């Protein structure tokens, strides 16, 4: 209130002395005032934001801050104590974390390029078809994405079954001996990787199709006149123009695959040994089986930083040669 | 002219390849339903022990109920001709056996397990969260897109920034909070954090940009209050965006897994994915039962997808790359 009353007085003084430095004075004193009035004028906007903002602060912002605090603490039932960087040191020293990181990286490095490239290839194939077949195939490839990963993991565990699974049966057609897919450390992680590769990247296909629709046909027309065949057109027109979509999809699937969890807990529990242990499964185990809440928070923060670094690198690389 | 045969050959190859890929992509879902409807076992008089159709080597690629009926049809007809049995009896007995056995695991799930309850829990939680998100996110998205007020950009960027943070970071603090608020083992523990998801605010803001300012001005001229403008002008125009957001929210709540397995310990409160996990932990090798549970969980989303397909496409392409 006092600020509002001050306003005319100040205006008067500004008018009175037209010195050079009054401009700065005017700026610094008027600003909070205007902001306050703007806020009052738009109070309804804040009311519209209020419910979401309360939920956001309570269940997102506050927990994020708390997680960072926790990561510097050792959890004790009767009051946690600060232990500085000890949790982080423990994270980087621990064998379990290194294995989980290695497995997660391998998983990501194989599945992300495979998913994105196969989505691109499938989209190009679908795009050339008529309307009806286009929407038919688009649905066929998107359908698995609407079903829960829990279900997909359950059925793949069944398909990987040693005695009666579909895979060993298919392999028997080619005279290959049955493989104990999920039961031995040599194959378990690869079984999960193959599974992720064979689940179509439905979101990718839909987004690629949408972006292809917005590429002007005249570009292809011109290329055809210049004698470029369809493979050349694909590499010189389609791929470069789809780059923003590709960037988005690579980021999306990288973030997703760094967080791989459901398959692990439903199919292998991280085993045999720790051959399929991944970061999020490790966080889950550390926090909710071993109750090392501080350590689990530190692991989660490290996961976030890793994802962030990867995102920035991908952003740079895929953006650069545009 | 010379190109024509090559072009149609290309097209045929494309169709063949796409069909193969589509089969690979749909095979797991097919296998869920096929296994869930498979006969569990069958023993005829001349067999020493019952054969399992679910655990069969080679696997039975489709439910064997109807084929079994026809397999024994010939014998039955012979027997009927000889006057040993009546065909009608054969038909009645066989059909009731086949139907009972085919659906036995579904009956089991709904009568002996809590699947009915889990189904109800999943539905009502997903519905509450979906409507809550639609209301709150459209309100927030509307003012962030259309109003100029101090703090607007700050709020928007803070929201965008947190979209980058993986959910696992807040797992432990949320777990503590839920404990402190005494919400552990209640559905509020799922609903409240889900209502705080920010993706929808971003989506709604992007979508509401395209609403022409003139319409809002006109409503204001007519003396409509802010709330009335939002409710009668903005919301109807935002319908396609709301539909897309609603579907994606419903889907993500329906399928959410990591957080529910942490906060729910009481079987009666489980949602379907959590229930499926305990079902699998308790029946590791009864694949017919497990696949039936999976089928029950998958069917609602498949129906939603078939009914609202075009909204899925819309939802994925608004606010995604274009902008």
> Residue range A121-130: average pLDDT?
89
What distances in angstroms separate CA A105 from CA A98, A109, A283, A298, A316, one per listed residue? Answer: 10, 6, 16, 19, 19
Which of A70, A133, A199 comes nearest B173 by C-beta?
A: A70
pLDDT at residue A187 is higher than 60 = yes
Q: Which residue has the higher pLDDT, A258 or B57?
A: A258
Same domain, B15 and B85: yes
Q: Compare CB distances from B174 to A63, A141, A211 and report the shortest one's residue.
A: A63
Q: Pick the last residue of a domain from B70, B105, B140.
A: B105
Sign of the Cα pseudo-torsion (A143, A145, A146, A150, in order): positive
- Residues 6 or more apart whose CB falls under 8 angstroms from that of B56 comprise A164
Q: Which of B151, B166, B230 sits opposite A304 (nearest CB)?
A: B166
Is 60 exceeded by the pLDDT of residue A29? no
Region for B256 from its dihedrals, namely left if φ exceeds 0, alpha if ψ lies in -120 to 50, beta otherwise: beta
**CB–CB of B171 and A142 under 8 A?**
no
Mean pLDDT of A255-259: 90
Q: Return the number of CB contacts < 8 Å for A and B.
A: 272
Average pLDDT over residues B196-213: 86
Q: What is the mean pLDDT of residues B281-289?
A: 85
Of A76-90, B92-106, B115-129, B148-162, the poorest mean pLDDT is in A76-90
B contact test, residue of A119, A154, A244 with most B CBs within 10 A: A154
* Helix or strand (DSSP H, E) at A74: strand A73-74
CA distance to A190, B121, B186, per residue, from B191 (Å): 36, 11, 9
Q: What is the ipTM of this complex?
A: 0.87
Residues of A in contact with B299 (CB under 8 A): none
Q: What's the pLDDT at A128?
A: 83
Region A199-210: what's the mean pLDDT? 90
**Arithmetic mean of pLDDT over chain B:** 85
Cβ distance B55 to A258 less than 8 Å, yes or no, reads no
Cβ-contact B257, B108 below 8 angstroms: no
pLDDT at A19 over 90: no
Q: Look-up: residue for tokens 């949408």? A: A210
Q: Are the C-beta atoms of B198 and A56 separated by less than 8 Å? A: yes
Token pair of A84 as six digits: 């500085």
According to DSSP, residue A144 is labeled: H
Confidence of residue A31 (pLDDT cuts 50, 70, 90): low
Higher pLDDT, A25 or A78: A78
Do both B52 and B154 map to the same domain? no
The mean of the pLDDT values for chain A is 84
**DSSP, residue by residue, B184-226:** TTSTHHHHHHHHT--HHHHHHHHHHTTS-HHHHHHHHHTT--H
Structural domains in chain B (count): 2
User: Which pLDDT belongs to residue A269?
Assistant: 87
3-state secondary structure of A13: helix
Q: Is pLDDT above 60 for A223? A: yes
Query: Does B58 score more than 50 pLDDT?
Result: yes
Specify the DSSP element, H or E, that contains A81: strand A81-82
- How far apart CA B98 and CA B104 sit, in angstroms, is 10
| CATH number for B265 | 1.10.3720.10
- Domains, chain A, in order of start with CATH, read 2-89 (no CATH), 90-320 (1.10.3720.10)
Give which of A289, A194, A50 is closest to B28, Cα–Cα. A194
Residue of B nearest to A286 (CA): B172
Angle ∠(A277,B24,A234) on CA atoms, nearest 5 = 95
**Is residue B152 scored above 90 in pLDDT?**
no
Q: What does the longest C-alpha to C-alpha distance in chain B come to?
A: 93
Q: Indicate the pairing of strand B41-42 with strand A73-74.
A: unpaired
Written as one string, the DSSP assignment of B7-52 is HHHHHHHHHHHHHHHHHHHHHHHHHHHHHHTS--EE--TT-SSPEE
pLDDT band, residue B3 (cuts 50/70/90): low
Q: How far apart are the first and last CA of chain A?
A: 54
Residues B196 and B173: beta-carbon distance below 8 Å: no
**Mind listing the pLDDT tens digit for each residue in A138-181?**
999 999 999 999 999 999 999 998 888 888 888 889 988 888 88
Which residue segment(s) compose the domain that B27 sits in? 3-105
Q: What is the pLDDT of residues B118-133, one digit of tens each?
A: 999 999 999 999 999 9
Name chain B contacts of A140, Cβ cutoff 8 Å.
22, 25-26
**DSSP annotation of A266:** I
- Domain-located, residue B272: yes
CA distance A120 to B74: 52
Within-domain flag for B322? no
pLDDT at residue A113 tops 70: yes
Question: pLDDT per residue over B176-194, tens digit each?
Answer: 898 888 888 899 999 999 9
| Residues B115, B101 within the same domain | no
- Indicate whether B298 and B237 sit together in one domain: yes
Residue bearing tokens 């089986």: A289
pLDDT at B199: 86
Of B87, B105, B123, at which residue does a domain stop?
B105
Q: pLDDT band at residue A192, thresholds of 50, 70 and 90?
A: very high
Q: Domain boundary at B105, B122, B152, which?
A: B105
**In this prediction, what percent of chain A has a pLDDT beyond 90?**
32
């Amino acid at each position: 209130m006092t600020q509002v009353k001050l306003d005319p007085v100040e205006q008067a003084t500004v008018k009175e002395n037209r010195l050079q430095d009054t401009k700065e004075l005017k700026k610094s004193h008027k600003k909070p005032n205007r902001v306050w009035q703007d806020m009052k004028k738009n109070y309804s906007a804040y009311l519209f934001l209020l419910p979401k903002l309360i939920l956001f602060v309570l269940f997102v912002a506050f927990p994020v801050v708390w997680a960072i605090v926790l990561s510097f603490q050792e959890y004790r039932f009767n009051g946690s104590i600060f232990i500085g960087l000890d949790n982080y040191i423990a994270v980087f020293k621990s064998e379990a974390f290194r294995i989980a990181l290695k497995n997660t990286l391998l998983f990501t490095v194989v599945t992300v390029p495979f998913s994105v490239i196969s989505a691109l290839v499938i989209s190009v194939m679908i795009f050339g078809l008529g309307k009806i077949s286009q929407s038919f195939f688009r649905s066929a490839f998107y359908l698995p994405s609407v079903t829960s990963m829990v279900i997909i993991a359950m059925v793949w565990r069944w398909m990987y079954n040693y005695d009666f699974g579909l895979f060993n049966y298919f392999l028997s057609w080619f005279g290959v001996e049955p493989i104990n897919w999920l039961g031995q450390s040599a194959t378990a992680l690869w079984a999960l990787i193959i599974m992720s590769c064979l689940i179509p990247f439905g979101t990718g296909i839909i987004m690629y199709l949408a972006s292809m629709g917005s590429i002007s046909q005249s570009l292809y027309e011109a290329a055809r006149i210049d004698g470029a065949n369809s493979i050349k057109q694909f590499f010189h027109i389609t791929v470069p123009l789809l780059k923003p979509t590709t960037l988005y999809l690579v980021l999306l699937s990288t973030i997703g695959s760094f967080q791989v969890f459901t398959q692990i807990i439903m199919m292998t529990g991280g085993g045999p040994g720790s051959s399929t242990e991944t970061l999020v499964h490790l966080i889950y185990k550390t926090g909710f089986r071993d109750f090392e809440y501080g350590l689990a928070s530190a692991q989660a923060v490290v996961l976030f930083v890793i994802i962030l670094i990867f995102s920035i690198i991908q952003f740079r690389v895929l953006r650069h040669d545009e | 002219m010379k190109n024509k045969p090559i072009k149609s050959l290309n097209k045929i190859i494309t169709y063949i390849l796409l069909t193969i890929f589509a089969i690979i992509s749909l095979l797991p879902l097919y296998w869920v339903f096929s296994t869930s409807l498979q006969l569990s076992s069958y023993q005829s008089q001349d067999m020493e022990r019952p054969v399992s159709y679910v655990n069969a080597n080679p696997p039975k690629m489709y439910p064997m109920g109807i084929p079994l009926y026809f397999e024994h049809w010939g014998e039955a007809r012979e027997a009927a001709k000889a006057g040993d049995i009546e065909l009608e009896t054969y038909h009645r007995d066989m059909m009731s056996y086949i139907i009972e056995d085919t659906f036995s695991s579904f009956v089991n799930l709904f009568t002996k397990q809590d699947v009915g309850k889990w189904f109800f829990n999943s539905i009502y939680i997903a519905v509450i969260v979906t409507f809550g998100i639609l209301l709150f996110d459209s309100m927030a998205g509307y003012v962030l897109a259309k109003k100029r007020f101090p703090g607007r950009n700050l709020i928007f960027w803070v929201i965008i920034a947190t979209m980058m943070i993986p959910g696992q970071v807040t797992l432990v603090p949320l777990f503590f909070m839920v404990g402190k608020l005494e919400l552990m083992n209640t559905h509020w523990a799922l609903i409240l954090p889900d209502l705080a998801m920010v993706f929808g605010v971003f989506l709604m803001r992007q979508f509401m940009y395209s609403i022409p300012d003139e319409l809002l001005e006109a409503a204001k001229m007519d003396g409509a209050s802010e709330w009335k403008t939002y409710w009668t002008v903005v919301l109807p125009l935002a319908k396609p965006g709301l539909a897309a957001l609603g579907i994606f929210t419903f889907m993500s709540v329906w399928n959410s897994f990591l957080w529910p397995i942490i906060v729910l310990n009481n079987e009666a409160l489980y949602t379907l994915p959590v229930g499926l996990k305990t079902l699998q932990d308790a029946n590791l090798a009864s694949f017919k039962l497990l696949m039936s549970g999976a089928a029950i969980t998958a069917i609602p989303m498949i129906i939603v997808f078939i009914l609202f397909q075009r909204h899925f496409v819309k939802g994925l392409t608004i606010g995604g790359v274009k902008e």
